[in-house]
Structure 1
């Protein structure tokens, strides 16, 4: 990366302040329960030390795939990657400061441009558009682990980038607890709004057990 700028310093501070699992993360197993209205599905999950995921015990393939995708999202955000690895080749451009004190930063890469807002040393918004799809993620609350922050209440708004029409809105409420040396998700509630339809999905993880030390 070239000489640091004010924009890159702002972004690096927020990026490195996130909570991630370290290189000694052993993986874990848990029972999972997915609740959608009157329907309840139960199964088991494994996240291995290499962050590979396995979901078993659920006969409905679509539900099982939904849990897998949800866990993929969890792993992506907890996986540790240095700032240099992730953003070392990016260009950072400082934008305006909004009424809440959040500073906008444009992060330009070879593949896609992303817009972020940084408030009080934390990422409070992400905006990105790929082809006809655009999304904005706004974080309203963070959970402070003492070793980094985790977004705990946030919204994702999806739009058609050509027409600016909102296609769906997802509202997330996440709960984390400490097991051994690691914070792991124990519950996620997702409220989905699409046109006039509303659906709520709840993921519950229990009987969480860390796997053995990495060898």
Structure 2
């Protein structure tokens, strides 16, 4: 463990939990304040079928898809919203910083556990100053996000590249589905924008492959709408 990992040795408590969570939150790449969004051409595929189109992003609540790709699948909009929303500039005080946190005193292979009072029974695990795992409950499912590989942005913050999401039934604990993700990024005018996403899903119906690729990115000069 590096000397800079000292906060992970702190005892359990709200103050220690926020210090560790803030550090991990700020280590993740987000768009700069005032980022106005972008437009790009895109291509979306599901197994053997594919569709072209375009996307215009103003903020996570204002995403417009056009062309064939924008009409074929609700999963497409969900993925684009997730890609943008996780990178949007939101101060820590308006995110996990606004919630009650509790730091588990035990150390696990995935890091220290931070329990969040957010209505989803969320648990973050932090190791070496970065989030390695997230657990949540939502509806009839519980799921775990395992971040396996990151890359460094030009400013030193990190971007997830390889991760998987595993879903279980809350009723009987049965494994429902596993999604394997691989993300790519393109730096445009100093901003790391989404370049690609590939998702391999395995469930009772078999295995499916989805992919999303962006090109011809154009950044809007300033934010003229705010995320809700």
Tell me the TM-score normalised to structure 2 length.
0.85
Q: Does 1:26 align with 2:36?
A: yes
Q: Does 1:44 align with 2:54?
A: yes
Counterpart of 2:109 (choices 99, 103, 116) is 99
Residue segments in structure 2 that go unaligned for 5+ positions in a row: 1-12
Deviation sequence 1:43-102 (CA, Å, 0-9, x none): 011112676100001177333x332111111121011111111133422222221135x1
Q: Residues 37 and 49 from structure 1, CA distance in 2 versus in 1: closer, same or farther, beyond 3 angstroms? A: closer
Q: Using the alignment, how far apart are the partners of 2:25 and 2:96 within structure 1?
A: 10
Q: CA deviation at 1:159?
A: 0.9
Counterpart of 1:139 (choices 143, 147, 160) is 147
Q: Does 1:164 align with 2:173?
A: yes
Deviation sequence 1:114-135 (CA, Å, 0-9, x none): 1111011111100011342111
Q: Does 1:126 align with 2:124?
A: no
* Contact 1:108/1:114 (<8 A) preserved: yes
Counterparts of residues 1-215 of structure 1 (less than 5 Å): 5-48=15-58, 52-58=62-68, 61-63=71-73, 65-95=74-104, 96-99=106-109, 102-109=111-118, 111-147=119-155, 148-195=157-204, 197-214=206-223
Q: CA deviation at 1:140?
A: 0.2
Paired positions, count: 210
Residue segments in structure 1 that go unaligned for 5+ positions in a row: none
Deviation sequence 1:14-62 (CA, Å, 0-9, x none): 0121111122213211111112222111001111267610000117733
Q: Using the alignment, how far apart are the partners of 2:24 and 2:120 within structure 1?
A: 20
Of 165-174 and 13-22, more deviation after overlay is shown by 13-22
Q: Using the alignment, how far apart are the partners of 2:100 and 2:223 within structure 1?
A: 37
Tell me the TM-score normalised to structure 1 length.
0.89
Q: Using the alignment, how far apart are the partners of 2:69 and 2:152 within structure 1?
A: 37
Q: Residues 142 and 161 from structure 1, CA distance in 2 versus in 1: closer, same or farther, beyond 3 angstroms? A: same
* Contact 2:41/2:215 (<8 A) preserved: yes
